[in-house]
Chains A and B, each alone.
Chain A
Amino acid sequence: MNRSLLTFVLLITAASCVDRVNFDPPLPAAFAVVIDGFISDQPGPYEVRISKAFDIQSKTSIKQMVNVASISISDNVGNTEELVRVQNGIYRTSSNGIQGTVGRAYKLKIGMLDGRVYESEPDTLFPGGTVDSVYHEFVSSKDLEGKTNYDFDMYFNSTTGSLNHHTFLWKMVGTYQVDTNPEAFKVSCGEAKCPAPLSCSSYTLQNGQLEYYKPCDCCTCWVNIYNDLPLVSDDQLALNGRFTKVKAGKVPLTQWTFMYKVHLEIQQFSLSPQAFTFWRGIKAQKMATNSLFQPLTGKIIGNFHQLSGVEGPVEGIFYASSIKTKSIFIQRSDVPNEGLIPKQSLPFEDSCLTFGNSTNIQPDFWR
């Protein structure tokens, strides 16, 4: 009986399928210039990155940075500062230069090498309120295979600072330390694996033996994790100017995240209406992904317009924001049972810099 039933069900379920569809849309006549930057009430320097949009069909999404002829930030009270190129497509203000002030409006003007000039709409810097507390809850969940996973769900409470203004963007930045063993790196030599310590490690190979020759540059790193979605404020979460128990994201319990501890910072960015609309658009697009009912997400409206030159598309935003932060450490002892922390069975024989969003420079807060 079950056999025949299975036939029926397979007939039904096997009938459906999901496959890639190639629309082969024509490439746009020109790829948009993408401008990404902000100014805040925190001391500078501030960074503006200029790149080009890329073909979504391409298999590699390497961001092509774009150099410009001139770039300046100005406010509505007559202050202007030219930014200086620090890398291809990356421009900075000076550390003691212009700084955002609540109530003022800021705009960015860019002159491209081909003569085009873009300018952002003035963006007003609204008060930032405060992040009052950051806290976590240890939770477990089962995946579709039935395996139990453990995480720390991160929450915060914050205050808007003004009952009339409650458009915010929150970022969660988690940092954890990882130790790896790049000196144990091996390469294929015939059918076997031969030691080949990485040059960034402390050791070199001498006569088949590892010999210490310098401090390691890639044995210890600090890895950043971010929230997947831009977390923008929702009016429904605001009550009398307070946001309570807003979920910022999660920190998974893995062999790496809790080698030592996790630093977690909540950054609260005040947003102007136009910046809020921009970030909300990104959030909507991210949320729509994978939905079978095909929510149609459209264009994300930035705040740049072209002043002169041959017409060319532009994307991105330059906004002004008051930033408030609060951070905590989550210790291994916060895990209800340390036995739940996965053990590392073998050393990781590679550079710690192979972790995404990692750096070998110890952050100040880690000391």
Chain B
Amino acid sequence: MKLFLPLIFILFSISLSAQVLDTKLDGSENGKSLESVLQEFEAKNPVRFYFLPDWISSIQFAEGFEGKTLRTGLTDLFLGTDLNFVELDPNTIVIVKDPTMVLQYNTTLTVANKEQKKIEKVTLGAPGGTGRKTVTFTGKVVDSKTDGPMVGVNVLVNDLKTGTITNIDGQFELKLPAGSHVISFNFINYEERILDLEIYTNGSHDIKLEETPMVLEEIIVQDRTMRDIQTSSIGVTQISIKEIKRAPALLGEVDLIKQIQTLPGVTTTGEAASGFNVRGGSADQNLIMYDGMPVFNSSHVFGFFSTFNAEAVRDVTFHSGGIPAEYGGRMSSVLNIRSREGSYEKWEATGGIGIISTNLAVGGPIVKDKTSIIVSARSTYSDWLINTVKSNYVDLQNSTVTFYDGSAKLTHLFTKQTKLTLSAYVSHDQFRLRGDSTYRWDTKLSTLQFDHEFKGGFNFGVMAGYGSYQYNVLDQNPDTGFDLRYKLEYPTAKTHIGFVRAGHKAEVGFQSTYYNFNPGTFAPTNENSDRKFIQIDRQRSIESAAYISDQFDITKKLNVTVGLRYSLFDALGEADVALYKADAPLATFNQTGTLHVDSGKKIRSFNNPEPRIAFRYAFNEEQSIKIGYNRMFQYLHLVTNTTAITPVDIWQPSGYYFKPQLGDQLSAGYFRTFTKKGYESFVEAYYKTMNNILDFKDGAILLLNPSLETDLLQGKGRAYGVEFSVKKSTGRFIGALSYAYSRSFRTIIGTFPEENINDGREYRSNFDQPHVVNLSWRYNITRRYFFTGGFTYHTGRPITLPLTAYSIQNFTVSAFSDRNQFRIPDYHRLDIGLVVEGNHKRRKILDGTWTFSVYNVYARRNPYSIFFKEARPGILRPYRLAVIGTALPSLSYSFKIG
């Protein structure tokens, strides 16, 4: 009741007339404190102001009040503070203070003290200093061990019930009324920090968060809480590396991509299939970035494992909707992976031993507090295992499965604000089954990045990088031996300037990538081989983009992010472009000649604006709605006639015949947290249209095809769906349940009948999986023992089946159904695990964790591939290859030294 007393006074006072309050200010008050101005009013007029001097000691008049009444002036000055004024009568004015904020402030500090949380007292400025009514508090949150910026940290102003999250550079900005506030900094698996802040001027203070040595209560796999409520970003997920490590995994291999596949709206085409599909898009529509460089194949062993060693990864951000203007070049999603920096303070090592591979990351200071390095490596011993076993099974003896990946990062701090980073990454696979062809594929990435933070909230970054992806199929057969090589090189340069100030978080940047494709070299491996040398013409292109974006509050409740990306793509010569008859289908037999384009000349250019916009309206600190729209152009196409990514797929740049793919996505969501009960939930709906998406003609032959345009078709697609998620993130039992209903369709109508698919009717895309359910949980048996698990279900993907057969001359052939008319069996799987962590003593040399897990508990034979074998010549029968056809136990040990 006491809290409402001032309000009653205020309402009461409105009915009173007041001559003094209507007195116009003459400008003489500029620069004076409010207290002194009020005293001057008392001296000149029969009026008394009642107030406590401490309350208004930080307030003074700035310019711009001249001509306003005292009433307006006081209203302006008190805006955003807990102060107000009441006219008891025309000559008596009382300045009152709403005690809510003070009570909240005191309560928060009391609770924090009781819970023995770390509280840091910080004072910026002094009462009566500049006296501004609102001040800007900025800072940067870093990991206490690595000094690396921490993205996605929840920054909550407890007394005001507002907050924000740190950006990708770990920075945050808050607008606060001058005075005292309690600010908490939270991040999963890190100890909470409390800041007892007394602030009277714009100021900055950096925070170091310390990784918790014991299990926190609030452990969440996907941290969307504060981000979902507080920002206008929609469809963004921050992945916790620590939680990925605790989840049951195939053969104990920690896998980022598999974790992405459990998110709402994300599916996979089969067990252990490479890549993932987002909201009805194909796998090539996902931009996977590692330290700012695109990754073109993220799989080891055809998709069994991802190529990213979790020990080397700092954070993972996944965008499935509302994609920031900074990103482009893919239509469906962005998976941004940033590698760890070595500690600037001490040397440490982390690693793991599993039944398939071992990984190790070692890092530390070269020059303490100045230069750090971290090197990580992972390698399998599956090949050694296979070759060690004495077996009469020829297939096994002639098989090989080898992979490794490694990364290194060298960071030098010139000052606290200036950093130079050199990063390198390599991934290699070699696979041979049954002694015929050997598949090898390699990814190499390297970047040099310079970052600098200017005063006043500006930051600047520039990056130069080189990437390459190549594969090679080697057949050593003396009669048919061949060596097929494909290579893509892509040097890249990027720069950006960021600005975090005055309620705006803006960024402007430029990026450019040069692509050099060798689409295929096919050569005999020996003199007796009957294979002929084939060299498909090289392709060159440049993709560039400039972008600008800003995120700001329109009102306290309404936040907006706007962005514009302008992309340019040039397909360059030298090339001989095939020309075809205008009145006939594109086919090699309709070729009329070639168009020669000289080296460096443009074959075709594209330039396209890509607007992005997202709104968030927060009803309160627990509820918000969002609407987002983004347009994306994709200039590189994955040419494949399989549903999953394979190592021998071809990336084809847009050019004379292939138009860039265009995607428009509108998404809307409602986000709700139940803070006291520890629940978080959201529902998101989307509608996506796609243009110029590729599909293949019936009977297409894609490998080493110099005239791909004759075997591929471009058409339209659409996808829509709704995603639900509810998550319990506190208590001994935590878990998440999500369901997505999503549909995805294609329509290919060409100029000629043979350029239609399914006679031009709309058909289900390869990734149309209407129902997807994911459930994950963790139960803390004790502080060191956790029972974890996950269940996943999705509708089987569409498939084209042979229905009848017939004979033509000496050949029996199968007649297929309409494209994607049927579905493969539904996919579902249950995994469980037991995690045993080491003791939780803060100071210990070795910290180890055992993970025992069972993948596919009830031995479901989920297909990796449905393929066709001949029962008799020409009579095809569908077969299912279930690569994990049984319950698969595994044991792994991970450790941390230092």
Contact = CB atoms under 8 A, between A and B. Distances in A.
Interface string B455-481: 000000000000000000000011100
A5 B875 CA distance: 41
B392 to A, nearest CB: 10
A226 B813 contact: no
Interface stretch (B285-293, B380-388, B616-624): B380-388
Nearest to A126: B589
The 4 closest A-B pairs by CB, nearest first: A298-B698, A281-B699, A17-B885, A284-B699
A23 B808 contact: no
Contacts of B872: 61
A141 B477 contact: yes
Contacts of B356: 12
Most buried by B among A51, A236, A290: A236
Given A8-B355, A235-B706, 11 more contacts: A9-B389, A13-B396, A18-B879, A21-B863, A56-B802, A139-B479, A146-B394, A289-B876, A290-B868, A292-B881, A298-B698
Contacts of B22: none
Contacts of A235: 588, 706-707
Given A56-B804, A56-B875, A316-B808, A291 B882 contact: no
A330 B415 CA distance: 83
Nearest to B859: A15
Interface in B630-663: 641-644, 646
A294 interface: yes
Most buried by A among B532, B590, B867: B867
A247 to B, nearest CB: 5
A20 B861 contact: no
A145 B397 CA distance: 11
Given A296-B642, A298-B699, A21 B879 contact: yes
Interface string B696-731: 111111001011000000000000000000000000
A169 B764 CA distance: 35
A292 B867 contact: yes
A28 B804 contact: yes
Contact of B884 (A15, A23, A276, A277): A15
14 contacts: A2-B389, A12-B356, A12-B382, A18-B879, A19-B861, A21-B824, A56-B876, A247-B530, A273-B587, A277-B587, A289-B869, A296-B642, A296-B696, A298-B698
Given A12-B251, A301-B754, A288 B808 contact: no
A34 interface: yes
A299 B815 contact: yes
A230 interface: yes
Nearest to A272: B589
Interface of A: 2, 5-6, 8-9, 11-21, 23, 25, 27-28, 31-32, 34, 36, 51-56, 61, 63, 139, 141, 144-146, 153, 155, 167, 226, 230, 235-237, 245, 247, 273, 276-277, 280-282, 284-301, 315-317
B73 interface: no
Contacts of A34: 806-808
B107 interface: no
A16 B801 CA distance: 23
A293 B865 contact: yes
B803 interface: yes
A348 B814 CA distance: 35
A61 B888 contact: no
Grouping DSSP codes into helix (H, G, I), strand (E, B) and loop, the A interface class, with mixed when no group exceeds half, is mixed
A2 B388 CA distance: 7
A180 B274 CA distance: 55
Contacts of A15: 883-886, 888
Given A273-B590, A293-B865, A18 B807 contact: no
A253 to B, nearest CB: 14
Contacts of A2: 388-390
Interface string B392-421: 001110100000000000000000000000
Contacts of A289: 868-870, 876
Nearest to A11: B888
Given A55-B804, A315-B806, A20 B879 contact: yes
B145 to A, nearest CB: 35
A276 B589 contact: yes
Contact of A144 (B394, B799, B803, B879): B394
Interface in B581-618: 587-590
Contacts of A51: 806-807
Given A5-B388, A19-B880, A61 B804 contact: no
A32 B806 contact: yes
A298 B888 CA distance: 36
Contacts of B389: 2, 5-6, 9
B698 A300 contact: yes
B24 interface: no
B882 A19 contact: yes
B804 A293 contact: no
B295 to A, nearest CB: 21
Contacts of A17: 861, 881-882, 885-886
A284 B808 contact: no
B646 A293 contact: yes
Contacts of B878: 20-21, 23
Given A53-B815, A300-B699, A315-B815, A9 B385 contact: yes
Contact of A21 (B811, B825, B870, B884): B825
Contacts of A61: 805, 812, 872, 875
Contact of A277 (B644, B754, B805, B877): B754
A23 B641 CA distance: 21
Nearest to B587: A273
A200 B435 CA distance: 47
A282 B807 contact: no
B103 interface: no
A301 B644 CA distance: 26
A17 to B, nearest CB: 4
Interface in B102-129: none
Contacts of B398: 144
Contacts of B812: 61
Contacts of A141: 477-479
A198 B894 CA distance: 75
B809 interface: yes
B229 to A, nearest CB: 43
Nearest to B878: A21
Interface string B420-436: 00000000000000110
A12 B250 CA distance: 11
A238 B811 CA distance: 25
Nearest to B809: A36
A125 B880 CA distance: 44
A290 B534 contact: no
A54 B479 contact: no
B766 to A, nearest CB: 8
B800 interface: yes
A335 B644 CA distance: 46
Contacts of B881: 16-18, 292
Interface string B814-844: 1111010010110000000000000000000
B884 A16 contact: yes
B810 interface: yes
B803 A28 contact: yes
B706 A236 contact: yes
Contacts of B819: 296, 298
B866 interface: yes
Contacts of B641: 295-296
A6 B386 CA distance: 8
A320 B804 CA distance: 26
Contacts of B806: 32, 34, 51-54, 63, 315-316
Contacts of A53: 804-806, 815
A293 B805 contact: no
Nearest to A287: B701
Contact of A293 (B642, B698, B802, B883): B642
A285 B802 CA distance: 11
B805 A54 contact: yes
A287 B701 CA distance: 10
